[in-house]
Amino acid sequence: MKKIIRLTESDLTRIIKLVINEERKFTISKPKDYDKFQQKCKTKNNGSFRTFVDGVHLRCMKKEGTTFQQTEVGGTIIKDNPFNRAGVNGTWKLSGDKIELRTTL
């Protein structure tokens, strides 16, 4: 049985603010093998990532606008993990000489 719920504009505003606040963003240094890694990427300077015990594994996306789809080519590992736990997924992009990691936890 379906249930219809009516939301006011203030309800929607509150829900959107909650979702935005759930997003986490961290900046890490660009690894030294980054340029070699980018030569294999179809999408330049952005992609998806997953955290593991040994750090953050960066991957390229198959095409612009997709999320969490890894290409056939390998990624690169950054020894730093600002999320302090394994299994976090998100997207990354190069911003200057830093890599910005974004995730919704």
The 10s digit of each residue's pLDDT in 48-63 is 899 999 999 998 876 6
What pLDDT is recorded for position 44? 83
For the cut 70, the answer to whether the pLDDT of residue 17 exceeds it is yes
37 φ, ψ (degrees, to nearest 5): -60, -40
How confident is the model over 30-84, as pLDDT tens digits? 988 898 888 878 778 888 899 999 999 998 876 655 455 544 556 889 998 998 8
Distance from C-alpha of 69 to C-alpha of 46, rounded to nearest angstrom? 12
Strand partners, 49: 58, 90
How confident is the model over 87-102, as pLDDT tens digits? 988 889 999 999 999 9
How many C-beta atoms lie closer than 10 Å to residue 26's C-beta?
17
Nearest-Å Rg of the Cα atoms of the chain is 17
Please identify which residue in the block is written with the tokens 């830093």: 98
Token output for 88: 């976090």
Q: pTM for the complete prediction?
A: 0.69
What pLDDT is recorded for position 15? 86
Distance from C-alpha of 103 to C-alpha of 82, rounded to nearest angstrom? 11
Distance from C-alpha of 91 to C-alpha of 51, rounded to nearest angstrom? 11
